[in-house]
Structures are given as structure tokens and as C-alpha cells.
Amino acid sequence: MNMRRRDLNKYNKLVKEYDEHPLVQSMKTYVQHGTTTTYDHSVRVAKLSYLLNTKLRLHADEQILVPAAFLHDFFLYDWHDEPKVSVRNFTAMHGFTHPKKAADNAKEVFDINDETYDAISSHMWPLTITKVPKSKEAKILCAADKMVALKETFEKNRFFHKKG
Ligand SMILES: [Fe+2]
Ligand SMILES: [Fe+2]
């Protein structure tokens, strides 16, 4: 995702504290969608959230938005691992449970504030039907995550790369 130098510098400052942590770096070992790691996915969602907020002049608080987006999938496991019941159940379970897990981890490791915690917890809405994104930051994160996930899922599908 291309960013102008000024935006990139600002983005880097907003994530620096988190990016340097070994647990965040460990997300490079987990696969998210297709061939994308959870780390790369998180960077994309954080950059897109930043850009949506800036370019569309949404006036969300970037000190909440960007860290929340960067840590939104900080659940720290590979969700493709051995299913406990069946692939279908496990995948569904991960979808429902990982936002809270990610928010709890972020709270424990970085002592994030309540706004950041809520934005992370609600990023899978409407799957997590009762966890509606309420703040501007939560809504931007929820939308950015879906846009990036869709792109990553399509990129891995060869059907979409066929010409003619
Ligand atoms: Fe997620
Ligand atoms: Fe995500």
C-alpha cells in the first residue's frame, strides 16, 4: 500500500511502540488469508484505516484508530491449526472469539485504553452481532478490515488472475 512520505512517517510513529514488541513480530509466523501473514494483514489494515481517516477527513482519533487497527488481530495463534471439532466449527469459533482474545492480549501487553479495546473487540461485526462498532474509530477499523480481507482472499484465488 503506497503512502506519501509524510503519511508514512506519521503512521510509523503511531505504531512504533507496538511494532517493536516480539509478540507483535511473532505474527509474522501466522498465516491469515492465503499467503498473507497476520502481521502483514495487520499492517495493511492499519495503513488503510489511517488513509481512510485522512483522505476522507473522517476526523477519527488516530492515536486510537491506528493502534487498534494494528493490534486488531493480536490473538497470537494460527487459526488454521488442528481443528478441535471440525473445520467448519473451528473456523466459525475463531471468527467469533478472536476479537476479544486480541483485545485482551493488547490490554495485557500494552495496557491499551478502553476506546482502543472496544474498537478491537467489535471489528468482526456483524458476525459478532452484539458487538456493534460504536465509535468512529471502531467503524473505520471494521470497514478497513473487511476491505483488506476481501482483497487478500481474492488475491490467493487463481480464478481471479485468469485472463480473458
Ligand atoms: Fe480479525
Ligand atoms: Fe483482520
Question: Which ligand places an atom closest to the C-alpha of 102?
Answer: 1
pTM for this entry: 0.89
Question: Which ligand places an atom closest to the C-alpha of 43?
Answer: 2
Q: What is the mean pLDDT of the chain?
A: 89
Q: Tell me, what's the pLDDT at 163?
A: 46
Least Cα distance to 118 among 76, 51, 71 occurs for: 71
Domain boundaries, the chain: 5-158
How close is the Cα of 148 to the center of ligand 2, in Å? 8
Which tens digit of pLDDT belongs to each residue from 85-125?
A: 555 555 568 889 999 999 999 999 999 999 999 999 999 99
Which tens digit of pLDDT belongs to each residue from 17-41?
A: 999 999 999 999 998 877 789 999 9
Residue 38's contacts (CB-CB under 8 Å, 6 or more residues apart) are 27, 28, 30, 31, 32, 73
Question: Which ligand places an atom closest to the C-alpha of 150?
Answer: 2
Q: Specify the residue for cell string 483522505.
A: 55
The topology (CATH level 3) of 5-158 is Hypothetical protein af1432 (1.10.3210)
How close is the Cα of 149 to the center of ligand 2, in Å? 7
How close is the Cα of 148 to the center of ligand 1, in Å? 11
Backbone φ, ψ for residue 104 (5° rounding): -65, -45
How close is the Cα of 78 to the center of ligand 1, in Å? 12
Name the residues around ion ligand 2, CB cutoff 5 A. Answer: 73, 145
Residue 164 pLDDT greater than 80, yes or no = no
